[in-house]
Structure 1
Amino acid sequence: MANSRLIQRSLRAAYYRGGTSRAVILQPQHLPANRKKWPTIFRQLMGSGDPYGRQLDGMGAGISSLSKICLVEPYRTNNTRNKDSSNSPAHVDYTFVGLGIENNEVDTFGNCGNMSSAIGPYAFNAGLLPAHLLNTTSGDITITIRNTNTNKLIDSTFSIIDGQAAVAGDYSIDGVSTPGSKIKLAFKHPYGSKTGKVLPTGNKTDILLNHTVSCIDGPNPAIFIHAADLGIDGAILPNAFAKLTDQLHLLEQIRAKAAVAMGLVATESSVARTIPKIGLVSASTTHKVLSGATLPSSETDLVVRFLSDTQPHRAVPLTAALTTAIAARIPGSVVHELLAPTPVVEGAITIGHASGRVQVDAVMHREDPVLPLSASVYRTAKRLFEGDMYWVDSERSGGGVAGEGGGCEGSGESLGMAFVEDCRRDGAGSGFPF
């Protein structure tokens, strides 16, 4: 006899592209009050824990940049929605969740900069902003987002057309085939996301496993190493990079040692799946990108290739690009030493990646040149669909939704913030292990 509990249950959701990533966006108040159910729901929505690596049972696509969930809700403090935006440091709370592909990991350790570009448009379209912003019918608006993973603020400026967040436009980003409406992201005080320090080890460079690296904690922590030190072509494309198993294994060892040296984890065995990221940096060079086009050396200030979960990225993760910009502004770092002496664009750093280029910038403190005051980048985003998604509840305990008598009890913060705290308390910092 069939178990009537194993029926599909609906959950309101949206699906957005943000920059060169895609994610399912949920409002956490629509989730069950029992937050221990959330990881199972997220895995089902993405199709994670797939030994075939394809995520056919969900919205994922077997690539880390497409296996993501974002939680968005009105900014909350002391368990109360702050409706007076003039007294609020932010308008909405945004929690990023990265899902493993072949494994069951649910990772809340860091932010996703690319998906950050979709949060403002989503919040407007979903009616989550104060009335004076929602009443905008046309023109540009700026909202402030608190990322609960890093407790950092992001100003997002985007356009409104006929009462909707604009999608069509003439701004192009490499890695996305169609142009869109420009979105400016300005990350405030973009450093120390995990350690409170720009240089967690206290050094501009460190020697790990006989290799010189720079450990920088920007919008997300990252480790930089000269590609030539590993005998790797700095402009290598992802498919070729993925075949270098010995070098990938060495990079993972270096990443684990760096995580300990940075104070992110106590032991190398407990390092998170995607944080810190590790990037191979090289001087600007003429090379082919994934589209088949040739990118001249005159159009980039440096070239970088990042890894997540031992997978080479097809485009640079945005928070990693911003951290690269910060590293490039620190004299003596691995990145600074490889930076072109004359920038392609004044006041910006043009980074070459596997899909093309991205322009970012970091403004440093005048009196303390190692301290970044802000970091900014331009992106586009697109709403792909809104509707119901489905999941199977194998245990009916803890019914209801988060807004009905549960969700953030004891935390005094948003539901997403409470989930992040749960993960770090019960899952050793990188997500629920069960």
Structure 2
Amino acid sequence: MNHAPQIRIPATYMRGGTSKGVFFRLQDLPAAAQVPGAARDALLLRVIGSPDPYGKQTDGMGGATSSTSKTVILSASERPDHDVDYLFGQVSIDQPFVDWSGNCGNLSAAVGSFAIASGLVDASRVPRDGICTVRIWQANIGKTIVAHVPMTDGEVQETGDFELDGVTFPAAEVQLEFLDPADEGEGGGAMFPTGNVVDELDVPGVGTLTVTMINAGIPTIFVNAAAIGYTGTELQGAINSDAKALAMFETIRAYGAVRMGLIKHIDEAAQRQHTPKVAFVAPSSAYVASSGKQVAATDVDLLVRAMSMGKLHHAMMGTAAVAIGTAAAIPGTLVNLAAGGGERTSVRFGHPSGTLRVGAQAALVDGQWRVTKAIMSRSARVLMEGSVRVPGDAF
């Protein structure tokens, strides 16, 4: 019996924000995987170690959580005024599919660093010292992200004293600007797909919930914590060990996706796990973060907990943070009301690992809310670089 040998593919394993994933240059992928399709998906599934019925991804690079089952493909951009095209693939842990429907805001923090180090940014635009501004085209959602990457002695600076709750060690700060973050290509073609900042959503078996459904950063459904029996101070164990709770959140997500116009029938939600997200909000309150850190009620404007790939996220997805910042800037949304209402340009929210500040610039134009940018800081670091190996017949 003949056995296919393993092949080597140049790759870099990186942390970005509170996520990590395997980064590739498009040109380094096997020819069959340089275009979208079954071969690319099969390759990335094998790299990450999915589908894994054991849920561990032992035979791959994945870390068996939504935050660590991620892939990124970058290429030099042909778009005017952009340096690099960024394509994100969220790999299912136990199912054989890759979800291409949204962005990863956390890994966005590593895109600029990888692009510079990989020669995808024109050398004339990279300073020896200071800040390199990398304009990124986010191909999944058709949006621009601007990363401000620190440089020292001609190299990307990765070490520093910037601390990010949810990440153990400090690193260099990378500022991100998400330009025009409302996803006008989704659902009803506007930031609020129904035209309302709040709606009543009928969810069989759960009830009628007051929700804010927004397309910004990533399509997100916000619900009040109290309406579903929570306080907003919950950590992962309170949700992820409760099968009934997980089923409830998935039902909310499915019916919300239909209402947002992202899918036509709730049955389609199972094949679109990455979007939309479901998050629950509550007014500020003291709690103990997963690290044991004490978070005082005065440290935050509100509390937010978010579901990712069927589980409560250990911190906060970067794209969901954009949605939070955007919704907080618009009076009357559930996020804005939980934060105390009124007009605001930034918000600090509490998540399971601690706190995070995100800013947004919103304006009412011709009766419609528009957000020109959302801003937040993350960090990124190369964990390993070289090659990944996969069986030659895996794709």
2:175 is the alignment partner of 1:184: yes
C-alpha displacement of 1:13: 0.3
For residue 96 of structure 1, the aligned residue among 74, 85, 88 is 88
Question: Measured at CA, do residues 64 and 186 of structure 1 come closer, stay the same or move farther in structure 2, by a change above 3 Å?
Answer: same
**Could you list the per-position Cα deviations for residues 362-412 of structure 1 after superposition, in whole angstroms to 9, with x for gaps in the alignment?**
10125457211110100110011110111112279xxxxxxxxxxxxxxxx
Aligned to 2:386: 387
CA distance in 1, matches of 2:380, 2:241: 32
Q: Supply the distance in 2 between the matched residues of 1:32 and 1:97 (Cα, whole angstroms).
A: 17
SS of alignment partner, residue 253 of structure 1: helix
Read off the aligned partner of 2:77 and give its amino acid letter. Y
Residue 56 of structure 1 is matched in structure 2 by: 58
8 A contact 2:43–2:394 mirrored in 1: no
Aligned equivalent of 1:265 = 263
Partner residue of 1:418?
none
* Contact in 2 for aligned 1:193/1:219 (Cα 8 Å): no
Mapped to 1, the partners of 2:228 and 2:217 lie a distance apart of 26
3-state SS, counterpart of residue 101 of structure 2: coil
- Whole-angstrom CA distance in 1 between matches of 2:224 and 2:59: 39
Match of 2:197 among 198, 204, 229: 204
Question: What is the deviation of 1:223?
Answer: 0.2
1:123, distance to aligned residue in structure 2 (A): 0.6
Matches within 5 A, 1:7-18: 7-18=5-16
CA contact (8 A) 1:23 1:66 kept: yes
Give the letter aligned to residue 201 of structure 1.
T
**By how many angstroms is 1:153 displaced?**
0.3
Q: Secondary structure at the match of 1:76?
A: coil
Provide the rounded CA distance (Å) in 2 between the counterparts of 1:194 and 1:251.
25
Question: 2:290 maps to what in 1?
Answer: 290
Matched residues in 2 for 1:174 and 1:310: separation? Answer: 22
The residue aligned with 1:349 is 347
CA contact (8 A) 1:151 1:193 kept: no
CA distance in 2 between partners of 1:203 and 1:28 (Å): 40
Per-residue deviation at 1:322? Answer: 0.8
CA deviation after TM superposition for structure 1 residue 234, in Å: 1.1
1:113 maps to amino acid: G
Q: Which residue of 2 aligns with 1:83?
A: none
Residue 280 of structure 1 and its aligned partner are, at CA, apart by 0.8
**Deviation digits for residues 3-30 of structure 1 (CA, Å, limit 9, x no counterpart):** 3xx1100000001100000010001122
| Residues 230-255 of structure 1: per-residue CA shift (max 9 Å, x gap) | 11121110011112322321221111
Match of 1:116? 108
Distance in 1 (CA, whole Å) between partners of 2:381 and 2:90 is 20
User: What SS is found at the alignment partner of 2:321?
Assistant: helix
Distance 1:336 1:287 in 2: 21
For 1:24-423, what aligned pairs fall within 5 Å after superposition?
24-35=22-33, 36-76=38-78, 88-134=80-126, 136-192=127-183, 194-195=185-186, 196-208=189-201, 209=203, 210-271=208-269, 272-340=272-340, 347-365=345-363, 367=365, 370-394=369-393
Task: Measure how far apart 1:341 and its partner are.
Answer: 5.8
Is 2:217–2:322's contact at 8 Å kept on the other side of the alignment? yes
Which stretch shifts more, 10-19 or 33-42? 33-42
Shift of the 25–395 alpha-carbon distance from structure 1 to 2, 3 Å rule, reads closer
Q: By how many angstroms is 1:340 displaced?
A: 3.5
Change in CA separation of 1:203 and 1:369 when aligned onto 2, cut-off 3 Å: closer
In the alignment, what sits opposite 1:414?
none
Contact 2:86–2:138 (8 Å) recurs in 1: yes
Q: Deviations over 1:306-342 (max 9, x none)?
A: 1012211001001101101111122221111111369
- For normalisation by structure 2, the TM-score amounts to 0.93
Higher-strand-fraction structure? 2
Q: Name the CA distance, whole Å, in 2 between partners of 1:383 and 1:200.
A: 38
* Cα distance per residue 1:150-207 (max 9 Å; x no partner): 0100111111112211011111110111111111100110102542311011121122
Question: Residue 50 of structure 1 aligns to a residue in which SS?
Answer: coil
Q: Give the deviation of 1:304 after TM superposition.
A: 0.6
The normalised TM-score by structure 1 is: 0.85
Unaligned segments of structure 2, at least 5 residues: none
Provide structure 1 residue ranges, at least 5 long, that are not aligned to the other structure: 78-87, 397-434
Shift of 1:118: 0.2
Could you tell me how far apart the structure 2 residues matched to 1:332 and 1:347 are? 15
Supply the AA of the counterpart residue of 2:110.
A
CA distance in 1 between counterparts of 2:341 and 2:218 reads 26
Q: Percent identity?
A: 34
- The 1-side partners of 2:178 and 2:124 are apart by 23
Residue 347 of structure 1, CA deviation: 4.3
Map Cα deviations across residues 67-105 of structure 1 (whole Å, 9 max, x no partner). Answer: 00000110025xxxxxxxxxx231100000000111112
The letter of the residue matching 1:7 is P
